[in-house]
Amino acid sequence: MSQRELESIQSLADWLGLPTIEVATAYSQRRADTDPLPMLLWQYGFISSLDQLNCALAWETANSESSAAISHQLAVIG
């Protein structure tokens, strides 16, 4: 697991107030990079309310937008 992935796991755990191990467990069950981590957290019972799910989805959206912006900046620079 890369440093960036570890930081993302910790960030989401902090965002949701969950133990890092729960987020890491759901993350390890992803079969592809496109598998939505919030849905895996829901599936495994680590989040149980729609409010938590919405927060996780908001976190994912915010982080995917920043990742896309960084990728775009690197493409422009390169």
pTM: 0.76
Is residue 78 over pLDDT 60? no
Q: What whole-number percentage of the chain has pLDDT above 90?
A: 54
- From residue 47, give the alpha-carbon distance in Å to each of 5, 66, 68, 74, 75: 20, 24, 26, 35, 36
Quick: pLDDT tens for 31-47.
887 888 899 999 999 99
* pLDDT at residue 34, rounded to an integer: 80
